[in-house]
A and B are shown apart, each in its own frame.
Chain A
Amino acid sequence: MAATFHGVGATVAALSSSSSSSSSSSSPSNSFGSKILLSSPSRSFSVRKRASFTMVRSEGSMNFDLNFKGRRAQQLIANAVATKADSSPASSSSKPGHELLLFEALREGLEEEMERDPRVCVMGEDVGHYGGSYKVTKGLATKFGDLRVLDTPIAENSFTGMGIGAAMTGLRPVVEGMNMGFLLLAFNQISNNCGMLHYTSGGQFTIPIVIRGPGGVGRQLGAEHSQRLESYFQSIPGIQMVACSTPYNAKGLMKAAIRSENPVILFEHVLLYNLKERIPDEDYICNLEEAEMVRPGEHVTILTYSRMRYHVMQAAKTLVNKGYDPEVIDIRSLKPFDLYTIGNSVKKTHRVLIVEECMRTGGIGASLIAAITENFNDYLDAPIMCLSSQDVPTPYAGTLEEWTVVQPAQIVAAVEQLCQ
């Protein structure tokens, strides 16, 4: 499966070296008009300076040749490790599939579920006529009507609560936070009602709600639009949290979340919406509780999720050149953790590096360290290392913003230190 990544202003990490896909790739612009970097067919990667900020590049040149392990990673990217009945093998060598961007994959998943079950509805700000601020719901209101794709007033706490009440009485709402940060206003409903009502009602009411939206550090969006809410929500009992990172798992997780009887929070990332990938034509879902093996390896386990996956894969290129063999796992399920996939990896490599975009204090990484230490302490040859964002409100200035988030160079350095 060829995966060509067009991150919004992000460094391009191409896993596929096939020149046909690079040269035929178009350069769609995102809804905010900024241009997207094309993957250059040339071997070396030059540093390009934009008008307003400098792009980050990893050290050394980008190597477009795919080594054997990388090619194996290609086939396994879409395969969850634990073989459960409903996770489908995604090697598309036999099926042509179709190419689309991540936000289109989300929309496709949502649309398919809305067609499949008339009780599925969407509510949020600007999801209807505007098509969603990141175009995830574009066209759905025309197709399904204004009640099924409901434009709400700006009242997060109340419309999230409304979604919960609708879920309790038989509907399957998908509530969109225009930016995940806005859901801080809905914390009352998410914590008290979403997570707890199934329990406090003695199991009488189910709340099959999906709460989704883009979060994470973008391109100079400022502190309040650059938040990572997964750390705040992780203590709420009764909810599941998943983070998507590729078009394949975005669509799969969206569908699985909608079909789940549990309340699920689906974290998307502002910078990943324009990733392009070829996904299967047939119906598939991704298991909500499973992690994704991105690149098998022997020397060190790197656990990551969402956008940091791409920083890790970029660092992996450098590491491979230096002779290391990292195993990269996209944990995908932020709550609960897939301790089987993670555990198997720890048992194999004995060294763990966690790379996340969450804050250092109380983030997903902190919980992951605790879980691994509790369960697999005997298998560790070195203390677990965790690279997280700085405990800083994300600054506006581009240079400062870069320094708050983990960069590939730091990942390379961390692995080198871990493997001494």
Chain B
Amino acid sequence: MNGASCAAKISTQPFSLNPTSPASHDRPLVSPKPASLFLGSTRKLRLSSSSKLNLHRRSGTVVAVSDVVKQKKSKSTHSLLITKEEGLELYEDMILGRAFEDMCAQMYYRGKMFGFVHLYNGQEAVSTGFIKLLKQQDSVVSTYRDHVHALSKGVPARAVMSELFGKTTGCCRGQGGSMHMFSREHNLLGGFAFIGEGIPVATGAAFTSKYKREVLKEADCDHVTLAFFGDGTCNNGQFFECLNMAALWKLPIVFVVENNLWAIGMSHLRATSDPQIYKKGPAFGMPGIHVDGMDVLKVREVAKEAIGRARRGEGPTLVECETYRFRGHSLADPDELRDPAEKAHYAARDPITALKKYLIENSLASEADLKAIDKKIDEVVEDAVEFADESPVPSQSQLLENVFADPKGFGIGPDGRYRCEDPKFTEGTAHV
């Protein structure tokens, strides 16, 4: 991991796209939306146009660094990107994500949780890199691969594990499950099973932030929303519609693409005409950035810029994180299509190993410090499982409680009383 440079490809202006790129089209001269802080160079991209997977297709020659980052670096060429506390915080968060997901797999095969469970192993750098920069009032929206987003945002491991076990102490009272993690307290707006349907919700949360600032005159409201989704989602209409609206109204949102190259068994290259997702940002008038998603420090640097942009009211950013999931799409996926060489390549770039190496080489932490964290997290995860095991399952009375915020919505029964006043209603046996 190269701590001193931020290897991020940045695309800000539509007409500076490489004309030799197989998928680029000539664009009329339209002046782009100005005032982007990403003033990095947009040099030529060496692209492979073959449909075979080229493992090196993204380790090209472009190293475009934002001016602001350059300015920071120039203060001291030997300064590190993080402090010791930050480093340990990042490490702990990633270890929590990894240990939790490994435990989920165990629990699933032991019959403690059911249905579709999608694990995040290998992608921890993206969640940690972005979410650890947020305040509590900032919002996060995810898809079905949301356990680690929930943990990074601050939802207790106990609440997430209970939710997975379907217990009433889960963060959604057992009613949501693996794919629907919500937390009002931590502003985690879900957890969505259909890809793409969370992006408009995230856009709405960003709209609220702008509305609060400009209409309700809460001048200090600078809440930012992060929307996480994958490469498959980037071919969905809602993605493009929301890029348009977010850029149009300069909403404080960051669109984070976790490009792990696979949508279940569909390779990104087989599904997408122009696989470079970050290039689609400038088409809508926002900067598009590509970053190595296996490197938490690089992700963090890019995230700082993108979140800062949103906070200052400069509008949205599209960040494409090149990442990889070590496990199959879900625990039901046999994962037979992916090339073992590809898996090995990315396994060698395990973000946790990389951060560990960085911390030790730069004397930010010792082996003992990190082992202590490993142990602590093991205990946290064990405790979460115990708590979930011992928690009660929902009783029948919980069945109808949350269908409506105002239970008058169940209507008026034949006896003239509202249905929800029926004593059987709370028992969950009422006929509605």
Binding site for B on A (CB under 8 A): 82, 118-119, 121, 145, 147-148, 152-153, 155, 157-171, 188-189, 192-193, 197-208, 237-238, 240, 260-262, 288-290, 333, 335-341, 343, 375-376
Beyond A147-B214, A169-B139, whether A202 also contacts B171 by CB under 8 A is yes
B203 within 8 A of A: yes
Beyond A82-B412, A121-B211, A336-B412, whether A165 also contacts B403 by CB under 8 A is no
Q: Which 5 A-B pairs have the closest CB atoms?
A: A165-B204, A161-B200, A336-B411, A202-B173, A201-B182
A153 & B205 in contact (Cβ 8 Å cutoff): no
Beyond A118-B215, A158-B241, A205-B184, whether A165 also contacts B189 by CB under 8 A is yes
> Given the complex, which residues of B lie within 8 Å of A208, measured CB to CB?
405
Beyond A162-B203, A205-B184, A262-B406, whether A200 also contacts B191 by CB under 8 A is yes
Cross-chain pairs A/B with CB under 8 angstroms, 20 sampled: A118-B215, A145-B215, A155-B237, A158-B203, A159-B245, A162-B245, A166-B204, A166-B207, A171-B207, A171-B211, A189-B197, A200-B180, A202-B173, A238-B409, A240-B404, A260-B409, A336-B410, A338-B411, A339-B412, A375-B414
Binding site for A on B (CB under 8 A): 139, 141, 170-177, 180, 182-184, 189-194, 197, 199-212, 214-216, 237-238, 241-242, 244-245, 248, 401-406, 408-416, 418-419, 432
> Given the complex, which residues of A lie within 8 Å of B191, measured CB to CB?
200-201
Beyond A170-B208, A192-B197, A193-B201, whether A118 also contacts B416 by CB under 8 A is no
Min distance, Cβ B160 to any Cβ of chain A, angstroms: 13
B189 & A203 in contact (Cβ 8 Å cutoff): no
Task: Please give me the residue from chain A that is nearest to B171 by CB atom.
Answer: A202
User: In whole angstroms, how far apart are the Cα atoms of A408 and B178 in the complex?
Assistant: 54
User: In whole angstroms, how far apart are the Cα atoms of A376 and B238 in the complex?
Assistant: 46
> Given the complex, which residues of A lie within 8 Å of B192, measured CB to CB?
192-193
> Given the complex, which residues of B lie within 8 Å of A169, measured CB to CB?
139, 189, 204-205, 208-209
Among A145, A169, A207, the most chain B Cβ lie within 10 Å of the Cβ of A169
B416 & A164 in contact (Cβ 8 Å cutoff): no
Min distance, Cβ B394 to any Cβ of chain A, angstroms: 10
Min distance, Cβ A245 to any Cβ of chain B, angstroms: 19
B172 & A197 in contact (Cβ 8 Å cutoff): no
Among the listed B211, B403, B413, which residue makes an inter-chain contact with A147, where contact means beta carbons less than 8 Å apart?
Answer: B211
Task: Please give me the residue from chain B that is nearest to A148 by CB atom.
Answer: B215
Beyond A201-B176, A205-B182, whether A165 also contacts B203 by CB under 8 A is yes
User: In whole angstroms, how far apart are the Cα atoms of A337 and B206 in the complex?
Assistant: 36
Beyond A161-B201, A165-B203, A338-B412, whether A201 also contacts B406 by CB under 8 A is no
Beyond A165-B208, A166-B205, A166-B208, whether A158 also contacts B403 by CB under 8 A is no
Min distance, Cβ A6 to any Cβ of chain B, angstroms: 33
User: In whole angstroms, how far apart are the Cα atoms of A84 and B415 in the complex?
Assistant: 14
Min distance, Cβ B203 to any Cβ of chain A, angstroms: 5
Among the listed A168, A261, A340, which residue makes an inter-chain contact with B204, where contact means beta carbons less than 8 Å apart?
Answer: A168
B238 & A157 in contact (Cβ 8 Å cutoff): yes
> Given the complex, which residues of B lie within 8 Å of A198, measured CB to CB?
402-405
B244 & A153 in contact (Cβ 8 Å cutoff): yes
Task: Please give me the residue from chain B that is nearest to A337 by CB atom.
Answer: B411
Among A145, A147, A170, A204, the most chain B Cβ lie within 10 Å of the Cβ of A204
User: In whole angstroms, how far apart are the Cα atoms of A341 and B412 in the complex?
Assistant: 9
Among A188, A201, A208, the most chain B Cβ lie within 10 Å of the Cβ of A201
> Given the complex, which residues of A lie within 8 Å of B199, measured CB to CB?
158, 161
Among the listed B205, B238, B405, B415, which residue makes an inter-chain contact with A158, where contact means beta carbons less than 8 Å apart?
Answer: B238
B414 & A160 in contact (Cβ 8 Å cutoff): no
Beyond A165-B189, A168-B205, A192-B197, whether A289 also contacts B409 by CB under 8 A is yes
User: In whole angstroms, how far apart are the Cα atoms of A261 and B194 in the complex?
Assistant: 25
B405 & A262 in contact (Cβ 8 Å cutoff): yes
Min distance, Cβ A376 to any Cβ of chain B, angstroms: 7
> Given the complex, which residues of A lie within 8 Å of B207, measured CB to CB?
162, 165-166, 171
> Given the complex, which residues of A lie within 8 Å of B175, measured CB to CB?
199-202
> Given the complex, which residues of B lie within 8 Å of A338, measured CB to CB?
411-412
A199 & B190 in contact (Cβ 8 Å cutoff): no
Among A340, A341, A343, the most chain B Cβ lie within 10 Å of the Cβ of A340
User: In whole angstroms, how far apart are the Cα atoms of A189 and B403 in the complex?
Assistant: 17
User: In whole angstroms, how far apart are the Cα atoms of A161 and B197 in the complex?
Assistant: 7
> Given the complex, which residues of A lie within 8 Å of B403, measured CB to CB?
198-199, 237-238
Beyond A166-B208, A169-B208, whether A203 also contacts B402 by CB under 8 A is yes
B204 & A167 in contact (Cβ 8 Å cutoff): yes
Min distance, Cβ B336 to any Cβ of chain A, angstroms: 31
* Extra A-B contacts (4), CB below 8 Å, given A188-B197, A202-B175, A340-B415: A148-B211, A153-B244, A168-B205, A203-B173
Beyond A158-B241, A202-B172, A339-B413, whether A193 also contacts B197 by CB under 8 A is yes
Among the listed A193, A262, A341, which residue makes an inter-chain contact with B404, where contact means beta carbons less than 8 Å apart?
Answer: A262
Beyond A165-B189, A198-B404, A200-B175, whether A158 also contacts B412 by CB under 8 A is no
Min distance, Cβ B163 to any Cβ of chain A, angstroms: 8
Min distance, Cβ A243 to any Cβ of chain B, angstroms: 15
